[in-house]
Amino acid sequence: MQPLSAPRRQPPPLAAIPLRRDPAPSRWAYRMQRLWLTPLFRVMFRVGVPTFVLASVVGIILADEDRRDAIAGGVSEIRTQFQNRPEFMVGLVSVVGASPELADVVRAKLDLKLPKSSFEIDLAAARARIQELDAIARADLIVRSGGVLEVAITEREPALLWRTADGIEMLDATGHRVASLGARSDRPDLPVVAGDAADSATPEALALLAAAAPISPRVRGLVRVGERRWDVVLDRNQRILLPADKPIAAIERLIALHQAGDLLGRDILTVDLRTDHRPVLRLAPYALNQLRQSQGIDTSGSQL
């Protein structure tokens, strides 16, 4: 007998065969993928769209005037409550580096009603008001812990006295006014200058006084003449007329002559140094008569 053969397998019907999915993206998906690969589109989608939505919401909220007023009032109240906290309140003004009298003037110039929040104090404006005082060269303001406003003062140091028709003014080394003086005897340690615009030539005056240090016990002061030169006034009614140019060199030459021959110890009224290398002396009347008599001339001018 012949063996039975296996039955032949029949192919499945076409309807039972699953369809393969096309791996290519659709046209819409392809376009979206291309857009996402664009940096500008990604930025606009991630940043621009949320920003636009947020701006739209804020605009809708702020479109109502009552709502705006309520928000502004709330913010103002929060700011006020924060600024008025105890740790920010200033209750004391401390002035350092100034005399007690000047410290009182500084406090009056500040004109602060304490306690007051440090946020409400304009330090720049307060500093400008303080530096308007003539006696103050510099002022620094800082709010310290504990509610203390510290004012550090640098006072102007008087360098000389300026005698004017209205009184006596104290000047610093730059010629800036420091304060008025009641009498010369109140500051006998300071030299005196006089004349119009003498304050504008204060540095030169101090340099002349330094150059005249060898005869300083006899110097009573300097006089500004014609707003261009100086006269040195000595005791015994003597006066030294200095030139407008190089006055320090002129007074140094005079001091050399005085140290060599006691020139200023003689009966001389004025020493005119306005001409270089040619000093002119004006003798006192008594010394002039003695000179004439030594030359054989009487005081009337006739020959003896």
Return all residues near 264 (Cβ < 8 A) that are at least 6 apart.
215, 218, 234, 238, 254, 258, 271
* Assigned token pair, 149: 């406003």
Rounded to two decimals, the pTM is 0.65
Judge if the upstream peptide bond of residue 115 is cis by omega within 30 degrees of 0. yes
Chain center to CA of 180: 24
The DSSP 8-state label assigned to residue 297 in this structure reads: B
Each residue of 240-276: pLDDT tens digit?
A: 999 999 999 999 999 998 898 888 888 888 999 998 7
pLDDT at 28: 81
210: closest CA among 225, 200, 222? 222
What local confidence, expressed as pLDDT, does residue 286 receive?
61
Rg (CA), the chain: 47
Summarised one tens digit per residue, pLDDT across range 34-52 is 877 888 878 887 888 888 8
| pLDDT for the residue 287 | 54
pLDDT of residue 21: 66
Check residue 199 and give its pLDDT.
Answer: 92
Out of 25-29, 87-91, 158-162, 178-182, pick the least confident: 25-29
Domains detected in the chain: 87-155 (3.10.20.310), 200-294 (3.40.50.11690)
- Model pLDDT for residues 17-29, shown as the tens digit of each residue: 566 666 666 778 7
Return the ∠ at Cα 300 (arms to 294 and 303), rounded to 5°: 55
Three-state SS for 189? coil
pLDDT of 289 > 80? The answer is no
* For residues 185-211, average pLDDT: 93
Whole-angstrom distance, CA of residue 240 vs CA of residue 222:
10
Tell me if 271 sits within 8 A of 243, measured CB to CB.
Answer: no
Torsion angle, alpha carbons of 76, 78, 84, 87, to 10: -140
Residues 99, 104, 109, 114, CA torsion sign: positive
